[in-house]
Amino acid sequence: MHAIDKDNVQYDSKGTLNETGIEIANLPRFKEGLECLSNTNFINDRLADIGGLNLAYSAYLESNKNSSKDVSSENSNRNQGARNFTNLPLQQVFFLNLAQSFCTDGFPNVDGQDDETWRLEQMLISSAPFDRAFECPAKDRQCELW
């Protein structure tokens, strides 16, 4: 994910300036997203976290969509059991699993907060899919880059 952070988005895999990357870096939405995130520490790390979250969530939704289309009875029964282990919507299950992965005995940061908890909050504070999954009220400002 660091390949598309604010410092590296303009370069290709060989470190050469890339036309597409330059276009992305100059998009108003990308610039607005960077400005929105500018008050956070370690902005490139936050971009990597948020980009990774978005990529994982998209893959999760795609995987779930594909598994629900499975028509073979053996796979269908196995997938049905996986979907029925909870009454929660699968979108909520995704975010609960994400949060669980950040449960650590980490060291407090400068604000006295656990670094992993802070990282999780930074990812979710601007997550429209999280807000939809938990029916959170719309925020005045969400940082979106792409």
106-146 tens-digit pLDDT: 666 555 556 788 889 888 887 889 999 999 987 776 677 66
Assigned domain for 51 exists? yes
Assigned domain for 143 exists? no
CB 118 within 8 A of CB 111: yes
Contact partners, residue 27, CB within 8 Å, separation at least 6: none
Note the pLDDT of residue 131.
Answer: 92
For the chain, how many structural domains are there in total? 1
Assigned domain for 11 exists? yes
**Amino acid found at 126:** S
Query: Which tokens go with 93?
Result: 């299950």
Phi/psi class of residue 112: alpha, beta or left (left: φ > 0; alpha: ψ in -120 to 50)?
Answer: left
Assigned domain for 74 exists? no
Give the count of beta carbons closer than 10 Å to the beta carbon of residue 145. 22
Assigned domain for 142 exists? no
39-55 tens-digit pLDDT: 777 888 888 888 889 99
The three-state (H, E, C) secondary structure of the chain, written as one string? CHHHCCCCCCECCCCCECHHHHHHHHCHHHHHHHHHHCCCCCHHHHHHHHHHHHHHHHHHHHHHHHHHCCCCHHHHHHHHHHHCCCCCCHHHHHHHHHHHHCCCCCCECCCCCEHHHHHHHHHHCCCHHHHHHCCCCCCCCCCCCC
Note the pLDDT of residue 6.
Answer: 85
Assigned domain for 73 exists? no
Assigned domain for 109 exists? yes
| Residue 18: domain span | 2-61+88-133
Whole-model pTM over 0.85: no
Note the pLDDT of residue 105.
Answer: 67
Which residue would you say has higher pLDDT here, 140 or 20? Answer: 20
Assigned domain for 72 exists? no
57-116 tens-digit pLDDT: 999 988 877 766 554 444 444 444 455 678 899 999 999 999 998 887 666 655 555 678
